[in-house]
């Protein structure tokens, strides 16, 4: 049965680009795509007409972990069975879509849940966003995230590890360039995989058309990863001026994951998180805000990603990351939306994030205008994925 032709009339239309929004337009959606965008008083043919204060593209989260749900102690989640991790991923995929996130990149999982969820969603047996999975993250032996990693040592083994992810069905590669917050004993500032190892992995990944994301918090590791040719730095909290120059030279993106340490520190009084996690998040928080703001002002392209799944950082709460790009980094609400839509889609290499005739119809109907109601993204009135209504809140 063909999906019905939809018309969406809105007061403000944000197409995902950096351009100012248009007012009083109607989008006509057919066969999963935007067919035309016309003024509200133009005659249109549609089976169903929906109204919204504002329309934006569906959100794109460049950094999630579908097998984790924001539990306070990730160590406990890791003890669950593979089947349990798969069920968790299925629930998180559904919650993401219902909250308006229409594309996610999964950057590391213990099992192949994100890869299988992508296929199940494509087959129509499950609902969720478009998923771009990395499979297991490549890390040094015993390195940060080894519990969701493929431990690898040496350039040739790094190439083999990339090939293994490709065989498993991954579409991108995640490298661990430095220590991190959630692994006991890992020092966030310290480099882990070497530049030589990462370079080998990048060459192999790019050969197969896979983009490469590097978890990198420490200054030296960020620069090692950029020189190795990665496509994005994840976190990037301790970047310096030389790193900013390397971003400019290589064209790499920065995915700041502002939610990750912010959510940890908002929930200290719960007493449920390991002490080492809180200590490391506290050490990074001030540097994160200062350095990432500096990179943003220097023109480093910022793509939205929240590290959803980490403590108290829920998949459905991605709107909070968009708000933090506004309040912590000084982006305008429209600039933050641009980072979480069109810029994110360029980093991922997916056809999404920009609403133009001929493009896929992944979009949100909001009850308020983003520029006057900065919380409007938290509860979209309706979510449309590939031209079909995927979620609808009653307008009550
Ligand atoms: Zn992560």
Between CA 68 and CA 249 the distance in angstroms is 35
**Mean pLDDT calculated for residue range 250-267:** 96
Q: How far is the CA of 145 from the centre of ligand 1 (A)?
A: 9
Q: How far is the CA of 395 from the centre of ligand 1 (A)?
A: 35
55-107: pLDDT as tens digits: 999 999 999 999 999 999 888 888 899 999 999 999 999 999 999 999 999 99
How many residues in the chain? 396
Mean pLDDT of the residues in the chain: 95
Pairing of strands 149-151, 137-139: parallel
Q: How far is the CA of 291 from the centre of ligand 1 (A)?
A: 19
Q: How far is the CA of 32 from the centre of ligand 1 (A)?
A: 31
Q: Is the pLDDT of residue 40 over 60?
A: yes
Q: Is the pLDDT of residue 267 over 80?
A: yes
Query: Which residue has better confidence, 376 or 374?
Result: 376
Q: Is the pLDDT of residue 234 over 90?
A: yes
Query: Among positive and negative, which fits the CA dihedral 118, 122, 125, 130?
Result: positive
Between CA 179 and CA 164 the distance in angstroms is 23
Q: Let me know: does 66 contact 113? Beta carbons within 8 Å.
A: yes
Where does the pLDDT of residue 185 fall: very low under 50, low under 70, confident under 90, or very high at 90 and above? Answer: confident
Where does the pLDDT of residue 222 fall: very low under 50, low under 70, confident under 90, or very high at 90 and above? Answer: very high
- Residue 41: C-alpha distances to residues 38, 44, 46, 51, 372 (Å): 8, 9, 14, 14, 25
Number of H helices, E strands in the chain: 12, 16
Pairing of strands 253-255, 363-366: unpaired
- Return the C-alpha torsion angle 180, 184, 190, 191, nearest 10: -70
Q: How far is the CA of 329 from the centre of ligand 1 (A)?
A: 20
| Cut 0.85: pTM above it | yes
- Residue 196: C-alpha distances to residues 160, 187, 355 (Å): 14, 21, 40
Q: How far is the CA of 299 from the centre of ligand 1 (A)?
A: 24
Structure tokens of 301?
């392209």
**Mean pLDDT calculated for residue range 218-234:** 97
pLDDT at site 395: 58
Q: How far is the CA of 181 from the centre of ligand 1 (A)?
A: 10
16-34: pLDDT as tens digits: 999 999 999 999 999 999 9
Q: Is the pLDDT of residue 396 over 60?
A: no
pLDDT at site 1: 66
Q: How far is the CA of 182 from the centre of ligand 1 (A)?
A: 9
Q: How far is the CA of 63 from the centre of ligand 1 (A)?
A: 6
**Mean pLDDT calculated for residue range 242-247:** 98
128-144: pLDDT as tens digits: 999 999 999 999 999 99
Q: How far is the CA of 7 from the centre of ligand 1 (A)?
A: 38
**Phi, psi for residue 293 in degrees, rounded to 5:** -60, -40
Paired with 249 in beta bridges are none
Q: How far is the CA of 60 from the centre of ligand 1 (A)?
A: 15
Where does the pLDDT of residue 186 fall: very low under 50, low under 70, confident under 90, or very high at 90 and above? Answer: confident
pLDDT at site 243: 98
Q: How far is the CA of 257 from the centre of ligand 1 (A)?
A: 8
Q: How far is the CA of 247 from the centre of ligand 1 (A)?
A: 20
Between CA 54 and CA 368 the distance in angstroms is 6
Q: Which helix (H) or strand (E) holds 269?
A: none
Q: Is the pLDDT of residue 35 over 70?
A: yes
Between CA 266 and CA 268 the distance in angstroms is 6
- Residue 256: C-alpha distances to residues 28, 77, 114, 192, 311 (Å): 35, 24, 22, 19, 16
Residues in Cβ contact with 377 at an 8 Å cutoff, skipping those fewer than 6 apart: 56, 59, 100, 319, 322, 323, 337, 364, 366, 370
Between CA 280 and CA 120 the distance in angstroms is 37
Q: Closest by alpha carbon to 258, among 222, 225, 234? A: 234
Q: How far is the CA of 64 from the centre of ligand 1 (A)?
A: 6
Q: How far is the CA of 217 from the centre of ligand 1 (A)?
A: 11
pLDDT at site 174: 98
């Amino acid at each position: 049965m063909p999906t019905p032709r939809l018309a969406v009339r809105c007061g403000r239309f944000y197409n995902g680009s950096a351009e100012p929004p248009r007012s009083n337009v109607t989008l006509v959606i057919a066969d999963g795509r935007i067919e035309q965008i016309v003024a509200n008083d133009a005659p249109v043919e549609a089976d169903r007409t929906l109204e919204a204060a504002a329309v934006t593209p569906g959100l794109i989260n460049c950094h999630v972990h579908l097998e984790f749900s924001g539990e306070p102690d990730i160590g406990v989640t890791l003890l669950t069975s593979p089947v349990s991790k798969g069920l968790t991923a299925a629930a998180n995929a559904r919650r993401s879509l219902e909250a308006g996130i229409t594309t996610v990149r999964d950057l590391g999982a213990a099992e192949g849940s994100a890869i299988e969820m992508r296929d199940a969603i494509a087959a129509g047996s499950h609902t969720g966003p478009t998923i771009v999975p990395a499979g297991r993250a490549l890390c040094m032996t015993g390195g940060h995230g080894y519990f969701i990693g493929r431990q690898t040592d040496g350039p040739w083994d790094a190439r083999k590890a990339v090939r293994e992810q490709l065989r498993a069905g991954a579409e991108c590669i995640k490298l661990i360039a430095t220590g991190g917050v959630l692994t006991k004993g890992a020092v966030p500032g310290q480099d882990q995989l070497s530049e030589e190892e990462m370079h080998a992995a990048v060459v192999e990944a790019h050969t197969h058309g896979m983009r490469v994301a590097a978890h990198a918090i420490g200054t030296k590791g960020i620069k090692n990863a950029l020189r190795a040719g990665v496509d994005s730095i994840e976190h990037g909290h301790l970047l310096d001026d030389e790193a900013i120059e390397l971003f400019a030279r290589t064209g790499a993106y920065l995915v700041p994951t502002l939610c990750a340490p912010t959510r940890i520190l908002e929930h200290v009084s719960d007493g449920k998180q390991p002490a080492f996690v809180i200590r490391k998040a506290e050490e990074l928080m001030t540097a994160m805000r200062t350095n990432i703001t500096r990179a943003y002002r220097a023109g480093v392209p910022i793509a939205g990603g929240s590290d959803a799944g980490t403590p108290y950082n829920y998949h459905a709460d991605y709107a909070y990351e968009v708000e933090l790009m506004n309040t912590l980094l000084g982006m305008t609400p429209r600039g933050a939306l641009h980072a979480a839509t069109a810029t994110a889609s360029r980093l991922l290499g997916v056809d999404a994030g920009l609403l133009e005739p001929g493009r896929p119809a992944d979009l949100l109907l909001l009850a308020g205008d983003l520029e006057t109601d900065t919380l409007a993204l938290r509860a979209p009135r309706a979510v449309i994925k590939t031209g079909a209504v995927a979620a609808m809140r009653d307008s009550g």
